[in-house]
């Protein structure tokens, strides 16, 4: 696969993001287009793009004490090729440059989402609490990562 690019989203990508979301989550978890438009205007939506195609997205929210990752998904057909890993790694680099005071990153993940939990463990996110029925019938796990100077990987080998 060709090189990944890490880009700030603009409105022209909204349909691509919504399509990826529709194939990635239970319908009750879909966000409204307005939600994504807001992330775009606040510049909190990042894309992984390959050959001009949006293949993954990530939203983050800065808070006073921490940054949360609120949304992350990879397009079907591009999974298990390092897209989500690249998105998180690139965000960590960006946070180090732009939000250098941020010491903690948090996210929620469904308790039965072993794939995503495995991804987060690669970045040393640690489970901190279980939130019962956080996703409707499904429990959620709060995971947290302490940011250090070497939180991201400098070299990523793109999978083929």
Ligand X SMILES: CC(C)(COP(=O)(O)OP(=O)(O)OC[C@H]1O[C@@H](n2cnc3c(N)ncnc32)[C@H](O)[C@@H]1OP(=O)(O)O)[C@@H](O)C(=O)NCCC(=O)NCCS
Q: Footprint of ligand X on this chain (CB under 6 A)?
A: 24, 56, 72-74, 79-85, 109, 113, 115-116, 118-119, 122
State in angstroms the smallest separation of the CB of 108 from ligand X: 7
Q: Which is nearer to ligand X, 81 or 145 (CB)?
A: 81
Strand order, beta sheet including 5-8:
5-8, 45-50, 53-62, 67-74, 104-110, 138-146, 126-135
Q: Which is nearer to ligand X, 54 or 84 (CB)?
A: 84
Q: Which is nearer to ligand X, 80 or 148 (CB)?
A: 80
State in angstroms the smallest separation of the CB of 112 from ligand X: 10
Q: Residue 134: how many CB atoms within 10 A of its CB? A: 15
State in angstroms the smallest separation of the CB of 120 from ligand X: 8
State in angstroms the smallest separation of the CB of 109 from ligand X: 4
Q: Which is nearer to ligand X, 5 or 80 (CB)?
A: 80
State in angstroms the smallest separation of the CB of 20 from ligand X: 7
Q: Which is nearer to ligand X, 83 or 147 (CB)?
A: 83
């Amino acid at each position: 696969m060709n090189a990944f690019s890490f880009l700030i989203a603009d409105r022209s990508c909204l349909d691509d993001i919504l399509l990826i979301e529709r194939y990635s989550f239970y319908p009750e978890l879909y966000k409204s287009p307005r939600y994504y438009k807001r992330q775009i205007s606040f510049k909190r939506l990042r894309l992984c793009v390959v050959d001009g195609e949006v293949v993954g997205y990530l939203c983050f929210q800065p808070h006073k004490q921490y940054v949360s990752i609120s949304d992350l998904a990879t397009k079907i057909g591009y999974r298990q090729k390092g897209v989500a890993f690249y998105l998180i790694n690139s965000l960590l680099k960006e946070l180090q440059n732009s939000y250098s005071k941020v010491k903690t990153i948090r996210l929620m993940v469904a308790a039965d989402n072993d794939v995503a939990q495995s991804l987060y463990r690669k970045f040393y996110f640690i489970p901190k609490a279980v939130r019962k029925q956080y996703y409707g019938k499904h429990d959620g796990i709060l995971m947290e990562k302490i940011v250090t100077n070497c939180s991201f990987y400098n070299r990523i080998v793109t999978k083929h």
